[in-house]
């Protein structure tokens, strides 16, 4: 058996510490991704490739489907792509998570172009809010989460489908987040989905 040299030993420690997001005392920043073991490696690899803000929304569909399947892997949930909105002819929501055939999560994916424009972000959020308005009357769950995504960026709110979006403010809302695979985003989604899974 060969004993590693001190240089090899230090390199191994450096790699292990970097993967955990720790630094060695210098100005090494932790990576801005979910904690190790949080998202599957495939999700993180795809996220690393999605860097072009001029990409069409369809390029992000598989990515977001994997994210939803991560959170709702239990067989009692179904993730449906291009779900038809009740009573709106030819209108569809990019993804819906169903439990016992009733929606618990709505996700509208838009292209990331012009994210820095406040009006574009507002339009994406308003589209998702409109989907909530049209879906809530058909929802039997106690809470309905609505997510607006622009590429990997996202915002969300959670509310009772028994109330109009104009009646009350959302019980939980999240401002626009830069990257859904960041540690902060992971923690917020975990918190947002917890009550749905508990009910």
- 144-192 confidence digits (pLDDT tens): 999 999 999 999 999 888 776 555 555 678 899 999 999 999 999 999 9
Dump strand ranges (E) for the chain. Answer: 77-84, 92-99, 102-110, 144-150, 153-159, 172-177
Beta-carbon count within 10 A of 46 CB: 19
Q: Does domain 52-198 bear CATH number 3.90.1570.30?
A: yes
- 8-32 confidence digits (pLDDT tens): 434 333 333 334 344 334 444 444 5
Structural domain spans, the chain? 52-198
Sheet holding 92-99, edge to edge: 77-84, 92-99, 102-110, 144-150, 153-159, 172-177
In the chain, count H helices and then E strands. 5, 6
Q: Give the Cα separation of 57 and 49 in Å (integer).
A: 14
Burial label for 131, CB within 10 Å (0-12, 13-18, 19+), is buried
């Amino acid at each position: 058996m060969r004993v590693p040299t001190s240089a090899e030993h230090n390199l191994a420690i450096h790699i292990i510490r970097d993967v955990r997001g720790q630094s060695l005392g210098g100005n090494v920043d932790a990576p801005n991704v979910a904690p190790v073991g949080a998202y599957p490696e495939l999700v993180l690899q795809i996220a690393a490739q999605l860097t072009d803000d001029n990409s069409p929304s369809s390029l992000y569909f598989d990515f977001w489907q994997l994210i939803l399947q991560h959170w709702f892997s239990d067989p009692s949930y179904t993730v449906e792509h291009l779900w038809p909105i009740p009573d709106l002819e030819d209108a569809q929501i990019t993804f819906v998570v169903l439990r016992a055939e009733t929606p618990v999560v709505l996700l509208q994916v838009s292209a990331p172009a012009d994210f820095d424009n406040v009006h574009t972000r507002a339009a994406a959020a308003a589209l998702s809010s409109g989907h909530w308005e049209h879906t809530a009357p058909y929802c039997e769950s106690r809470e309905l989460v609505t997510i607006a995504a622009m590429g990997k960026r996202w915002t969300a709110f959670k509310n009772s489908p028994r109330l109009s979006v104009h009646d009350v403010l959302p019980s939980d809302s999240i401002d626009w987040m830069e990257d859904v695979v960041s540690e902060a985003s992971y923690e917020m989604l975990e918190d947002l989905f917890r009550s749905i899974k508990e009910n």
